[in-house]
Amino acid sequence: MENTMILKLLGRNIGFSILQNRIYSLWKPLSTVHLMDIENGFFLAKFVNKIDYENVLLEGPWIIFGQYLTVQPWTVSFDPTQTFLNVVMSWISFLGLPGYMYKRKILVEIGGLVGKVTKFDMNTNNRVRGRFARIAVVVSMIVEETSENGVSCGPWMLLEKDHGEN
């Protein structure tokens, strides 16, 4: 399904018509965007225009009603019955980084430690406003860990042990 992406508004449910109106006002697409409501608050957005698809995927972050609208390319492995996302594109800002480190290669290397770098902010690239450097990174939300007793833990099952006084 070329030019199709998965949408989910984090932390809030949203109706089909409201989402459709909001994305048209946010994205201002050149062509039609077909929206389909699927399970667990997920939506599929099919773009007629490849440029619209790429702009939505690479721009952002997209905020609706104060909540983050996640966008990710549709994949065959996407499972709408899961209530969580497998991957999320996140913007990483580099606050307090020394000036000499505001070089594309260095920032991409740092971002690569978190996930796959998909976009580099043009202000950073042109060194116009280096202290506002940011990159977009695709981050995996799947945590592969085992508990202390050897039981496998899936996403959302991990609890941090309190090491404070009893």
Task: Give the model confidence (pLDDT) of 40-88 as tens digits.
Answer: 889 999 999 999 998 898 787 788 998 889 888 888 878 888 766 667 7
Q: Is the pLDDT of residue 112 over 80?
A: yes
Higher pLDDT, 76 or 20: 20
Least confident of 18-27, 35-44, 142-151: 142-151
Mean pLDDT of the chain: 78
pLDDT of residue 120: 75
Q: Does domain 4-75 have CATH number 3.30.70.330?
A: yes
24 vs 95: CA distance, rounded Å: 32
pLDDT mean over 9-28: 92
- Which one of 22-26, 83-87, 110-114 scores highest in mean pLDDT? 22-26
**Domain map (residue ranges) of the chain:** 4-75, 88-140
Q: Is the pLDDT of residue 152 over 60?
A: no
Higher pLDDT, 60 or 165: 60
Q: Is the pLDDT of residue 154 over 60?
A: no
pLDDT mean over 150-162: 49
1 vs 9: CA distance, rounded Å: 21
pLDDT of residue 157: 43
Indicate the residue type of 99: G
pLDDT of residue 128: 52
Higher pLDDT, 99 or 162: 99
pLDDT of residue 124: 52
